[in-house]
Amino acid sequence: MSGKIIKHSRNTEKAPLNAFSTQSVAFSHYNNISAQLPVNPVTGEIISADIKEQAKQCLDNIKAIVESVGHIMSDVVKINIYAINITELAAIDEVYATFFQGYPPVRTSLAVAALPMQGARVQMDALISNGEGTHPQAPCDLVKVAGNTPNAPQSPFSTQTVAFSHYNNIGAQLPIDPTTGNKVMGGIKQQTKQCLKNIKAILESIDVPFDDIVKLGIFVRNAADVDAVNDVFKTFFPDSAIARAVGYVPARSVVVTSGLPMDALVQIDAVVSHGDGTPPQAVEDRHGIIIKARNTNDAPTSALYTQTVAFSHYNHISAQLPVDPTTSEIVKGDVKAQAEQCLQNLKVIVESIGHVMDDMVKINIQLKNIDDVDVVSEVYKTFFNGDLPARTVFGVSDIPMSALVQIDAVISNAEGTPPQA
């Protein structure tokens, strides 16, 4: 790993252990928590078929991990909820609300086709603030800055924007008109436009340029809608003259869901660079810390995303399909061959910027068939020499290009981006 800041990987027996992931992986001022299933850590089994009890167990497991590293639940910045049935979200919310006093984290909720353990109806992962940093950073009393604007939809279960240190997370935006609180009329293009308008309104409310987005998550109900989503996407990015001059677009992942809140066709969340930091960090020129966006021809390229977007001490890698960069086609073979190609694409991207696979702090794996998880995991572990990253795995109804697997990642970036040392 470059530089002196180190990754801190930890497990606790108070939450379920997994041979293919680390429960908590901290780096600099953030800590990534692996997806937690409704598993009793003592028995290793799903605790119940009741959705409320399952939701509570997921959150109890997250809480146990958070407390094991000296933090509390109010340090949670973002939660992702993966449910089998989106109609059970209301029941999940009843439990969820009891775990957060003061303000709720930003949140993304979606229905998935399957989860890694039979009988699981929900799983959750999390990102937490880490004010003490990781060695040799000195602890700093950084504060979270959470906010909402009436110019975008509000929810009692998700704050629109939560900034900590040099990053800002935006909760998933549904195609809701904030003036009416209703889903916009029309099809996928109208809904996509409203989602992006809501994100833009949130960023404008905190005086952050739209082109400060480093990663987007796009969640669609139908794979056939992706082209229409892209048509709208291209009218929003690049946003500024500077970004257009260099052709900058964020990293991104596209997920085909089994359902979304309010029966929406699309929702979009975002990770945003936050150059001025949060108090007591000194306010800098917003572009003093720069975004470093790069592509390599040794991995698949696209005009719709940048392969790797670094900012400060983190780097976001776009979702990689099992595409051979020399042919631009899905590799021949089964899920094992496809998983290896996805990971090889990630490895090439990571190495093109002077990093190694062990710099990864979080991996997200989508599978067309959840029964393939063991095969994919066996391939997966061969790409790492040290502690494994935090990880989230879920099944989807479809993947772009009819692939069997898709993988994205977040990596540590110890050298930072200029002018940091």
pLDDT of residue 141: 83
Model pLDDT for residues 41-69, shown as the tens digit of each residue = 999 999 999 999 999 999 999 999 999 99
The position carrying tokens 């959150």 is 59
Can you say how many angstroms the Cα of residue 284 is from the centroid of all Cα atoms in its chain? Answer: 26
Mean pLDDT of 376-385: 98
pLDDT(388) > 60: yes
Give Cα separations from 389 to 32, 173, 178, 233, 381 (angstroms). 9, 27, 38, 31, 10
Q: What is the DSSP string of 16-49?
A: ---TT--SEEEETTEEEEEEE-SB-TTT-SB--S
DSSP letter (8 states) at residue 336: H
Query: What is the rounded CA–CA span in Å between residue 315 and residue 177?
Result: 32
**H/E run at residue 313:** none
Model pLDDT for residues 152-171, shown as the tens digit of each residue = 999 999 999 999 999 999 99
pLDDT band at residue 102 using 50, 70 and 90 as cut-offs: confident
Tokens of 371: 């029964």
Which residues have CB under 8 Å from 1's CB, separation 6+? 7, 355, 356, 358, 359, 412, 414
Mean pLDDT of 395-403: 97
Which residues have CB under 8 Å from 289's CB, separation 6+? 166, 273, 275, 311, 312, 416, 417, 418, 419, 420
What the chain holds in terms of domains, given with CATH numbers, is 141-288 (3.30.1330.40)
pLDDT(173) > 80: yes
- Average pLDDT over the chain, rounded to an integer: 95
pLDDT(2) > 50: no
pLDDT(93) > 80: yes
pLDDT band at residue 1 using 50, 70 and 90 as cut-offs: very low
Residue percentage of the chain with pLDDT more than 70: 97
Q: Is 98 exposed, middle or buried (0-12, 13-18, 19+ CB in 10 A)?
A: exposed
| Radius of gyration of the chain measured on its C-alpha atoms | 20
pLDDT(282) > 90: no
pLDDT of residue 288: 67
pLDDT of residue 420: 57
